[in-house]
Amino acid sequence: MSEAQDEIRLVLEQEGPYAFHVRIAGTGLELHTDEPPPLGAGAGPNPSALLLAGVANCLAASLLFALRKFKNAPGPIRAEITARRERNAAGRWRIPRAEVTLTLADPAASLEHFERALAQFEQFCIVTQSVREGMAVEVAVVDAAGVRYTPGAPA
């Protein structure tokens, strides 16, 4: 796979006080996000919900991949993720932990090499492993005149 195929690009455009139209480049897919009241209108998932959906979805897909690697044809997998916002030492809201439950439609005993699939599936999950390792995020702000600013950089 080329590096160009590995790139994930989203474009967000503000459409309300805290609402954004999100386009997933190259796919034709889009969605709308919004913060819950009192900031926004709650007209779409907020960034925290999207983060948690990404983690749970990736884990479920990775478990499915691991089971299929061993020639299993498992029934539908159900994923449930629960988290709580908490304030950190600086008083900022964070999501310090999440609990994920993946429920199989099949008894584990009916799946070939279940223990091996169970031991390795989390390593296939790009999102969960990236979150666990602490993904670097570089930020730039560009004004209407095209001037680029880097938050936290000396002026």
pTM (2 d.p.): 0.89
Span 46-155: which CATH code? 3.30.300.20
What tens digit of pLDDT does each residue of 13-58 get?
999 999 999 999 999 999 999 999 999 999 999 999 999 999 999 9
- Encoding tokens for residue 67? 């089971």
Instruction: Give strand pairing partners of 86.
Output: 94
Q: In 8-36, which positions are buried (b, 16+ CB within 10 angstroms) versus exposed (e)?
A: eeeeeeeeeebbbebeeeeeeeeeebbbe
Asked if 94 and 86 touch (Cβ cutoff 8 Å), the reply is yes
Domain edges within the chain: 7-44, 46-155
Strand ranges in 48-118 using DSSP code E only, listed in sequence order: 78-83, 86-87, 93-94, 98-103
pLDDT score at 1? 43
